[in-house]
């Protein structure tokens, strides 16, 4: 089992994206607190004059009691309903402003994440052992230390503020009510401003630290990075099977080109390769169709129907089947071998036209052993290559 000390590599882009999809993001509570408190203070400062005027008018209307009220007692219920609606509208406006500020603060610290994973029931979180580990983590210890320091700073700032303004506050009772309320409002603004300044300083420190803690928590080990790379690339064996399947599909589609071939090489029944060479338009011979087993038999039958020479050259047929791409020049390492066969085909066609004597048997082309897929050395090299890729 890997320990946390083994995870010393930064998280890959794939793991960061997966963490984001799971709802993990660097969220700063101090920034959220700053957004809520700041928006609440601004809302109160902006809405207070209008709200107080409307409430004053509504209260006057509620306390009005005259002959009309006696004649229509139901009007008092209408007044109460209007008063309740006014209070509801004021509360709703305040809640929308503060709630919007909370959402903006959360997005500002960690970005927008649309995921239900954080609220999905997870009974593993009820494990007391893992819960105890979360309580004594470095991040939790930092949060406790941060809250302690923040509380001490707020207490100190509050004491300084109250000490310097105590005489001002006690003198408010000696002033007319209008002036006293105005001075009280100014005093509250000063106090809230100082509190917001402290919370702002805490948020400036907390936001980058939350990002640091998240990246530290998502760090990966060498084995995890290697495993993720394998998962992204796919298993070498699976990729090899997919490529083999794609080649088979392409080979079946190429059967229609067999009538254009100059000759066919076979092994003698398992592999068939249709070759074409145009001295004017080609720099080297091309493989225009190839197949194995039943597809090889079909290529052979089509070639015989069109009078195309079918030659037996097992090693060269296997090498071309394994290493030559369709409609592409053959590998340069097979030029000499194919040239020997091509020269034989030219003599054979000349003999069939009556222009030369019939050639003997096809000479064995010189094929490098490592190009023969059935050669033991080539099989061992291929297995080693797959094992190296898997590792």
Q: What is the pLDDT of residues 4-56, one digit of tens each?
A: 556 777 777 777 777 777 767 777 777 787 888 888 888 777 777 777 777 77
Q: Give the mean pLDDT of 381-390.
A: 57
Tell which wins on pLDDT, 71 or 350: 350
Does residue 251 have a pLDDT over 80? no
Per-residue pLDDT tens digits for 174-222: 766 667 767 777 777 777 788 888 888 888 888 888 778 778 878 887 7
Task: Report if pTM > 0.75.
Answer: no
The pLDDT value recorded for residue 191 is 78
The pLDDT value recorded for residue 382 is 59
- The domains found in the chain, sorted by start residue, are 24-116+125-219 (no CATH), 236-390 (3.40.1690.10)
Percent with pLDDT over 70 in the chain: 76
The pLDDT value recorded for residue 128 is 59
The pLDDT value recorded for residue 133 is 56
Residue listed under structure tokens 């494990």: 127
For the chain, what is the radius of gyration of the CA atoms? 43
Per-residue pLDDT tens digits for 101-126: 888 877 777 666 666 665 666 655 55
């Amino acid at each position: 089992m890997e320990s946390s000390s083994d995870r010393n590599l930064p998280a890959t882009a794939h793991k960061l994206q997966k963490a984001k999809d799971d709802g993990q993001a660097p969220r700063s509570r101090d920034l959220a607190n700053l957004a809520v408190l700041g928006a609440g203070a601004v809302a109160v400062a902006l809405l207070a004059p209008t709200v107080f005027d409307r409430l004053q008018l509504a209260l006057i209307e509620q306390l009005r009691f005259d002959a009309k009220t006696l004649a229509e007692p139901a009007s008092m219920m209408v007044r109460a309903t209007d008063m309740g609606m006014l209070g509801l509208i004021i509360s709703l406006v305040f809640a929308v402003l503060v709630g919007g500020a909370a959402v903006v603060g959360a997005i500002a610290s960690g970005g927008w994440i649309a995921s239900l994973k954080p609220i999905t029931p997870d009974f593993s979180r009820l494990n007391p052992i893992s819960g105890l580990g979360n309580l004594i983590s470095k991040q939790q210890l930092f949060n406790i230390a941060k809250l302690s320091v923040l509380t001490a700073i707020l207490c100190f700032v509050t004491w300084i503020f109250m000490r310097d303004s105590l005489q001002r506050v006690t003198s408010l009772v000696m002033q007319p009510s209008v002036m006293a309320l105005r001075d009280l409002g100014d005093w509250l603004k000063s106090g809230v401003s100082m509190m917001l300044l402290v919370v702002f300083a805490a948020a400036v420190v907390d936001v980058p630290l939350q990002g640091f803690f998240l990246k530290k928590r998502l760090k990966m080990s060498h084995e995890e990075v290697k495993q993720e790379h394998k998962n992204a690339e796919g298993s070498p064996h699976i990729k090899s099977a997919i490529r083999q399947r794609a080649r088979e599909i392409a080979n079946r589609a190429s059967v229609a080109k067999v009538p254009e071939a100059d000759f066919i090489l076979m092994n003698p029944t398992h592999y068939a390769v249709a070759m074409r060479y145009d001295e004017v338009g080609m720099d080297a011979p091309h493989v225009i169709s190839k197949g194995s087993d039943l597809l090889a038999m079909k290529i052979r039958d089509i070639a015989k129907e069109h009078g195309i020479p079918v030659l037996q050259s097992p090693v060269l047929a296997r090498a071309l089947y394994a290493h030559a791409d369709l409609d592409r020049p053959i590998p340069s390492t097979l030029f000499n071998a194919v040239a020997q066969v091509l020269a034989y085909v030219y003599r054979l066609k000349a003999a069939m036209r009556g222009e030369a004597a019939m050639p003997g048997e096809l000479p064995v082309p010189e094929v490098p052993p490592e190009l023969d897929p059935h050669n033991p050395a080539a099989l061992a090299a291929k297995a080693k290559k797959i094992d190296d890729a898997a590792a």
